[in-house]
């Protein structure tokens, strides 16, 4: 009768040991990103609008699609259940609509120029996602959720400087994504436990994280002039 809980405990311990170094790496990457962002007080209205607009261009149409790709790519029941719950919340609570409302209120609806400024790194992430590599996509989405949560005060500050009082999107995502991130690390552990030994090195697993980090950098520090390729 004691055998099942012991197996479950061992399983969790092993998975935590596998994912802890990756989680640490992602925490540092998020800290570095945030530290590289300019102070909203010192940006022009044009630059503040641009960051909100490019963030919207990247998130609005891609987040649910990439989380859906994660759902298609994973193989464990545990990861499927976690990603399913994440998607359900995104769709049921209309997060894209919430973001669009935020962008409209800040007068930062994305234009052609905003879309073109993030076009190339966005396409690169899309091609990575198209390969449907389960553990790598889950890790990328854990990074995305973790970064989004910690970016919300900055995004809210940009909008406030632009005269917007709309806060639903930033309030909701500053809270829910903390839980989502932890759940995605649990999904990652489940996926890694199914990979045949030896496991791929961290540098390989972090491929999507690195590509997404480049995309996020282009949201805050856009290519100038916008790249039309």
By CB under 5 A, name the binding residues for Fe ion: 95
For Fe ion, the closer of residues 12 and 91 by Cβ is: 91
Q: How far is CA 92 from the centre of its chain?
A: 19
For Fe ion, the closer of residues 95 and 186 by Cβ is: 95
Instruction: Count the Cβ atoms, other than its own, within 10 Å of residue 17.
Output: 10
Residue 226 CA to residue 151 CA, distance in Å, equals 23
For Fe ion, the closer of residues 54 and 180 by Cβ is: 180
Residue 181: CB minimum distance to Fe ion, A: 12
Short-list 121, 113, 73, CA closest to 226: 113
Short-list 62, 63, 114, 109, CA closest to 223: 114
For Fe ion, the closer of residues 122 and 192 by Cβ is: 122
Alpha helices in the chain (DSSP H): 3-35, 45-59, 63-73, 77-92, 95-105, 112-117, 119-130, 134-161, 168-194, 202-205, 207-220
Residue 66: CB minimum distance to Fe ion, A: 12
- Counting Cα atoms < 13 Å in the Cβ hemisphere of 115 gives 7
Residue sitting closest to Fe ion (CB): 95
For Fe ion, the closer of residues 54 and 95 by Cβ is: 95
Residue 166: CB minimum distance to Fe ion, A: 15
Residue 205 CA to residue 126 CA, distance in Å, equals 17
Residue 7: CB minimum distance to Fe ion, A: 34
For Fe ion, the closer of residues 48 and 95 by Cβ is: 95
Cis before 164? omega within 30? no
Residue 56: CB minimum distance to Fe ion, A: 12
Residue 103: CB minimum distance to Fe ion, A: 14
């Amino acid at each position: 009768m004691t055998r099942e809980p012991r197996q479950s405990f061992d399983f969790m311990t092993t998975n935590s040991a596998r994912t802890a170094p990756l989680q640490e790496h992602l925490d540092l990457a998020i800290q570095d990103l945030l530290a590289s962002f300019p102070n909203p007080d010192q940006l022009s209205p044009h630059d503040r609008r641009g960051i909100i607009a490019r963030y919207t261009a990247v998130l609005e149409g891609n987040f649910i699609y990439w989380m859906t790709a994660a759902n298609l790519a994973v193989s464990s029941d545990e990861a499927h259940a976690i990603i399913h719950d994440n998607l359900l919340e995104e769709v049921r609570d209309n997060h894209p609509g919430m973001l669009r409302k935020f962008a409209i209120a800040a007068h930062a609806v994305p234009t052609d120029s905003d879309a073109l400024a993030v076009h190339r790194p966005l396409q690169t992430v899309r091609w990575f996602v198209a390969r449907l590599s389960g553990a790598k996509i889950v890790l990328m989405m854990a990074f995305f959720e973790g970064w989004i949560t910690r970016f919300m005060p900055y995004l809210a500050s940009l909008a406030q400087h632009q005269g917007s009082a709309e806060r639903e999107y930033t309030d909701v995502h500053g809270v829910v994504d903390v839980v989502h991130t932890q759940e995605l690390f649990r999904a990652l552990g489940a996926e890694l436990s199914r990979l045949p030994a030896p496991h791929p090195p961290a540098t390989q697993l972090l491929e999507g994280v690195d590509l997404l980090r480049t995309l996020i950098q282009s949201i805050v520090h856009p290519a100038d002039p916008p790249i039309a390729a």
